[in-house]
Amino acid sequence: MTLVIRKAVKSDYKQITELEYLLNEYMAKIATEEERVSNYKKLLEKYVKDMLNSKNSVFFICEDNGVLVAVLLGKLLQYPPVFKYPTYAYVDSFYVQKEYRTKGIGKKLIKELVKWSKSNGCKEISLNAHIKNQNALIAYEKLGFKHTRNVLKLYL
């Protein structure tokens, strides 16, 4: 096993999209209340392309002998300008293939995101995790994330 952590490039598009599909399939089983549109795969492909081309987002990936096994999508977002540090980083998606979990890959990907976030003037990184995704919640806490807010939804 030869693991390499790096910033993604446009030629990683297909493998990133495959991991994003796996993440979406996994989340569809957990978040059953969040329905996906029938053509979500095509929309996801476009989204990955858009994020790869955006100056306000970054994919960090882990590969094992040239095959992607983990992906993290970070984005720059803005609070209202009343805050001293309005720009913050947001973890939009984060997925490590099952057989590669508990090997420190998530920690290394977050470390890269921290560097990128600091270089973009951020003082915090935020994320959302589904309440039923207990493994992710535990992992995020181990990575140093703290519970600061609850997200409540009213389905209509």
pLDDT of residue 35: 82
Q: Per-residue pLDDT tens for 78-134? A: 999 898 889 999 999 999 999 999 999 999 999 999 999 999 999 999 999 999 999
Domains contained in the chain, CATH given:
3-142 (3.40.630.30)
Burial class (CB in 10 A: 0-12, 13-18, 19+), 152: exposed
Q: Per-residue pLDDT tens for 17-75? A: 999 999 999 998 988 887 888 888 999 999 999 999 999 999 999 999 999 999 999 99
> Would you mind telling me the total number of residues written for the chain in this entry?
156
Q: Which residues have a Cβ under 8 Å from the Cβ of 57 and sit 6 or more positions away?
A: 51, 73, 74, 75, 76, 92
